Amino acid sequence: MRLIRVLIAVLCLAAGAVLGALNRQSVSIDLGFGFVPATSLGIVLIVSLLAGALIGGLAISASVVLPLRRRLARAERARADSAAGSGLPAVIAAEN
């Protein structure tokens, strides 16, 4: 598994290097609220891909992971409450 992660990391680095090498044109970006001075198109592409991945990860976290954590916490509280009501320790109540 570690070898696969290393290979994927090397492939991503190589793809980023190729992307930067093939796109050397100078671009400037007007964001409406700010201005990014002239920089390499390859750098702009890599930064925008990274920003998109981060924003997508945050969206997934907010829409899937956080509700599941709340649901798990509620289930654990309900299990602890039912174990406390039965007079048995939580481990023994979970086995029954």
| Number of separate domains in the chain | 1
pLDDT at 95: 54
Q: In the predicted model, is pLDDT for residue 44 greater than 60?
A: yes
- Provide mean pLDDT across the span 73-92: 76
- CA quadruple 22, 25, 28, 31: dihedral sign: negative
**All residues at 6 or more sequence positions from 88 whose CB lies less than 8 Å from its CB, including other chains:** 96
- Provide mean pLDDT across the span 51-59: 93
Count the residues in the chain: 96
Helices (H), 1-96: 2-22, 41-60, 66-86, 90-95
- Provide mean pLDDT across the span 18-35: 87
pLDDT at 16: 85
DSSP β-ladder status, 35-40 and 26-30: antiparallel
- Provide mean pLDDT across the span 55-76: 91
| Residue 9, domain extent | 2-95
Number of neighbouring beta carbons within 10 Å of residue 2: 6
